[in-house]
Homo-oligomer: A and B are copies of this chain.
Amino acid sequence: MSGQQSSVDPARLQEVLDGRWAHVRHAVREGLGPDFVTVPGETGAEARARISDLIRKIPLDVGVVDAFPSEYGGSGDQGGSVVAAEMLAQVDLSLMVKAGVHWGLFGGAVVALGTKKHHDAYLRDIMTVELPGCFAMTETGHGSDVQQLRTTCTYDPSTGTFDLHTPHQAARKDYIGNAAKDGRMAVVFAQLITQGRRYGVHAWMVPIRDESGNPMPGVTIGDAGAKAGLLGVDNGRISFDHVTVPRDMLLDRYGQVAADGAYTSSIENDTRRFFTMLGTLVRGRVTVGGAASAATKSALTIAVRYGDARRQFTKPGDEREVLLNDYLAHQRKLLPALATSYAYTFAQEELVATLAEVQSGSSAASVDEHRQRELESRAAGLKAMQTWHATRTIQMCREACGGAGYLAENRLPGLKADTDVFTTFEGDNTVLLQLVAKGLLTGYRDAFGSLDGWGRATFVAEQVREMVLERTAARSVIQRLVSAVPGRDEDVAVTDRGWHLKMFEFREKHLLEGAIRRLRGGAATKKDRPFDIFNDVQDHVIQTAVAHIDRITLEAFVAGIERASDPAAKALLARVCDLYALTVIEADKGWFLEHGRLTPARSKAVTGVVNDLLRSLRPEMRTLVDAFAVPDTWLNAAILREEPDRQDATATEDEAARAVLV
């Protein structure tokens, strides 16, 4: 250490971070011991076998089945189940994904899209993993645009059954977790056709393997083979050759087919119905964002602790070499990422709380449509931002550990490879940010998950007269902070929270208004090229979405600081929040300068203050990662077990070695 000591007790900070679902976090930390820890360097076959085995050993009471209805043994707490999955991601990401596919996607779809007959028949076996399942939505040819799935499921009133069929190779179900080896049943998404009319995508429960593990008649299962990571998850490809599916296997909460083939639904419009169904499955995206951030915390913990033990190059006039964490360049890598991870922790907590509130046991009909769309938008945006942050940060952490960071025994390669898929699964990040933008542009009116309605978005945008940003968290505190900022930026310190909030708000509002203006302009001049209207502003639109998510993240951080009770923890959080806010502003200073919201002098001052913050937070680095409270057994990194005597010799050993050399 630098001879400097943190004044903050990590346990106090941990309380704030653990937040509303602390009990779930504690339960998982205590319930999943050394048996669950990753095995570096195992083969794909070994990983699959280990994870298949482990998923049945997770104690159900740690929260993993919380989202199931209480009448079947769950607690109906969507929030608890998201947090439990997030914690699994710190143990082993293959285990988290395997569990997420089975309980979250498969089980979640049966709960949300099925009715009592499905629940009675299957939920208990799903909870105990007696009936391992898959979520068969994505096709080789259609991943982002799932509304256009090509698999058909056609009702035949003469037999009272559906005919499930894969029309060509691009329509096979692809990348399906749990399919290559373990899945016995799948929730399959396909175009429902009855009485000669198509009603859009619906879901069916379809047995894909018999008791002895052989594919069912008409079902062909392939193996997606080796992947970058997630070796323990058996991703597969499923094709259906006119497979007969009983009528009652249709998950019919949102659309029903009578014995004679008559179709009924409480939602008339096919698109609206499909995206309402998808909306009930939003938990998957919330979970992926949280899992990505959880894994990022493991990586940061490893890199910060290594940087506090690893020395390289001597200081003039000092025999002992310099700790990596004492270098400004190293602080510039680790600390802004750490501050961003803190910010996302609070944003994710808000999101999970909103999910729990919006979706807790209420039937779809009673849900406020605006809030539901807003939830979907934030889930999409935070998923994108957290997963990109994970990819960038884990990469940076691996580089910050030098050659050691490349060895499997030090965990970082696994964290990197396993989380890599998160940027594209549960929705490609770029596509997700477009969804966020679409919601903003339309004020969530008719802003469904589909992206083909950009024309309509343009139309709605034309109606919007003035954009009013809706503050998300701790509204009164934020209002007070913003109001306290004097009119002229020059009169306020760059560490003023109200100024940060104003800068974030200004950027979002300005970008949004600009996007609307450009879409309107395009609609007027490019009537014959409707695709170009949207495509020409695609970068602007994505930037708008990012600015929006940045803003709600900062607001959540501010709200989180308010909740802290320990004064020292609160003060430290405020400095971390300064670093987060200024990191965002510094990274986008070009934009602020272009738009007259930073003068050149003030822009340079921001960089100076960021460097000051790095220096002042240096002694807190270890505290900041200790507060993540990732158990050492889970971190499973050899460089930490041997800390500090392997990185460098011990002081005594090295003294002796140096003595020989002088």
Contact = CB atoms under 8 A, between A and B. Distances in A.
A589 to B, nearest CB: 4
Contacts of A314: 148, 452
Contacts of A138: 403
Contacts of A653: 167-168, 170
A226 B437 CA distance: 43
Contact of A539 (B318, B328, B413, B590): B328
Given A140-B646, A313-B451, A593-B593, 16 more contacts: A40-B226, A141-B649, A145-B312, A167-B660, A169-B646, A170-B648, A224-B407, A229-B406, A328-B536, A328-B538, A329-B539, A399-B428, A403-B421, A413-B417, A590-B603, A594-B603
B408 A424 contact: no
Given A328-B535, A329-B539, A424-B399, A152 B452 contact: no
B227 A530 contact: no
B530 A315 contact: yes
Nearest to A530: B316
A429 interface: yes
A468 interface: no
Nearest to A453: B316
B150 A657 contact: yes
A316 B536 contact: no
A43 interface: yes
Contacts of A152: 660-661
Contact of A661 (B43, B191, B321, B600): B191
A395 B395 contact: yes
B228 A168 contact: no
B329 A143 contact: no
A2 to B, nearest CB: 11
B413 A649 contact: no
A569 interface: no
Contact of A226 (B409, B648, B656, B660): B409
9 contacts: A145-B321, A150-B654, A168-B650, A170-B647, A171-B649, A313-B452, A332-B539, A399-B428, A593-B594
A457 to B, nearest CB: 12
A334 to B, nearest CB: 12
Contact of A648 (B141, B198, B589): B141
A291 interface: no
Nearest to A604: B594
A416 B228 contact: yes
Interface string A490-516: 000000000000000000000000000
A661 B193 CA distance: 8
Contact of A600 (B141, B174, B596): B596
B142 A312 contact: yes
A287 to B, nearest CB: 18
A31 interface: no
A427 to B, nearest CB: 10
Interface string A35-67: 000001101100000000000000000000000
Nearest to A228: B413
Contact of A170 (B175, B407, B416, B645): B645
A662 interface: yes
Contacts of A661: 150, 152, 191, 193, 198
A169 B328 CA distance: 29
B193 A313 contact: no
A146 to B, nearest CB: 10
A455 interface: yes
A72 interface: no
A3 interface: no
Interface in A122-177: 138, 140-145, 148, 150, 152, 167-171, 174-175
A498 to B, nearest CB: 23
A421 B142 CA distance: 34
Interface string A338-353: 0000000000000000
Contact of A542 (B321, B329, B454): B329
Contacts of A372: none
Interface string A316-341: 11100110001111101000000000
Interface string A383-423: 00000000100010011001101111100110011001101
Contact of A455 (B198, B316, B424, B430): B316
A399 B387 CA distance: 12
A660 B197 CA distance: 9
A280 interface: no
A142 B603 CA distance: 38
A611 interface: yes
A352 B104 CA distance: 54
A656 B150 CA distance: 10
A425 interface: yes
Residue among A40, A167, A198 facing the most chain B CB atoms (10 A cut-off): A167
A649 B151 CA distance: 12
A595 interface: yes
A375 to B, nearest CB: 24
Contacts of A430: 329-330
Given A144-B402, A420-B406, A660-B152, A227 B413 contact: yes
Interface centre among A40, A229, A653, A662 (most CB of B within 10 A): A653
A650 B171 CA distance: 11
Q: Which 7 A-B pairs have the closest CB atoms?
A: A41-B226, A228-B413, A226-B408, A590-B590, A589-B590, A593-B593, A316-B530
A617 to B, nearest CB: 15
Q: Which one of A138, A143, A148 has the highest number of Cβ atoms from chain B below 10 Å of its Cβ?
A: A148
A213 interface: no
Given A317-B530, A322-B531, A590-B603, A403 B452 contact: no
Nearest to A601: B594
A430 B330 CA distance: 9
Contacts of A408: 225-228
